[in-house]
Amino acid sequence: MSFLAIDIGNTRLKWAHYASPQPGAAVLAQGAVFLENIDVLAEQDWRSLPVPSSMLGCVVAGEAVRRRVEEQLELWDLTPRWVVPSAHEAGVTNGYDHPMRLGADRWVALIGARGHMLARGPARPVVVVMVGTAVTVDALDRDGRFLGGLILPGHGIMLRALESGTAGLRVPTGEVVPFPANTSDALTSGGTYAITGAIARMRRHLAEHSDGEEPMLLMTGGAGWKVAPYLDMPHELVESLIFDGLLQIQSHRLAL
């Protein structure tokens, strides 16, 4: 009953092969490739894997990339299945105005966050942050309802926007410091503090909505490690949050 989880982001494809489709299952193998290299997965990364019994994936990179991945999955007699956001799944209710328009990665991360929180104690509200090409900061109440969230550019997009809109601005990456005294540090610090400021604002909104109850703060994404050190609030960096969500969804569907 092994299970293959796939997360196709805007830059990379990440995968993990689990011993079973259950939360907390042992990881048998895992890896990541940039999207330009996915056409050799069947010949390289996946060639020696045992045949998975099932798979579930999350894709935000578009239909063309999804089809390329499905071609690689022809290595096995396996039906590709991809998460489509819905009104309710695995204990989470989708409060988006149009539930199916919510990004699949945000939906899966919310479900993973709910399971992560419940595994550690009584139900409480959660702020779920994904830091990648874009940054999302989402609010989940103690009953598992997704209330809404913020979307803002990641570091790279912020810097490229400034470079394209500001004459002569071509500087190396700087450091995050309290009082930047050069352009490189000013850009890096400004981007980081923009993201942490959005997180702090959403955390405050969710605490007010929850009658003062302090939310859990979970962070994930390929660039989460860059932002986490500058958060002056309790938080946990969970690199596997989307995989955790895929395991939660698959387990819940099998139990129905």
Q: In 10 A of CB 242, how many CB atoms?
A: 29
Strands 12-18, 88-89: pairing kind: unpaired
Look at residues 62, 55, 57, 45 and name the one whose alpha carbon lies nearest to residue 11.
Answer: 62
Cα separation, 126 vs 135, whole angstroms: 16
Residue 21 near residue 247, CB atoms below 8 Å = yes
Q: Is 97 a catalytic residue?
A: no
DSSP 46-104: TTTSPPPSEEEEEE-S-HHHHHHHHHHHTTSS----B----SEETTEEE-SSSGGGS-H
Catalytic residue among 7, 45, 97, 105: 105
Residue 220 near residue 130, CB atoms below 8 Å = yes
Radius of gyration of the chain (CA): 19
Given CA atoms 106, 107, 108, 113 in this order, what sign does their dihedral have? Answer: positive
Catalytic positions, please?
Answer: 105
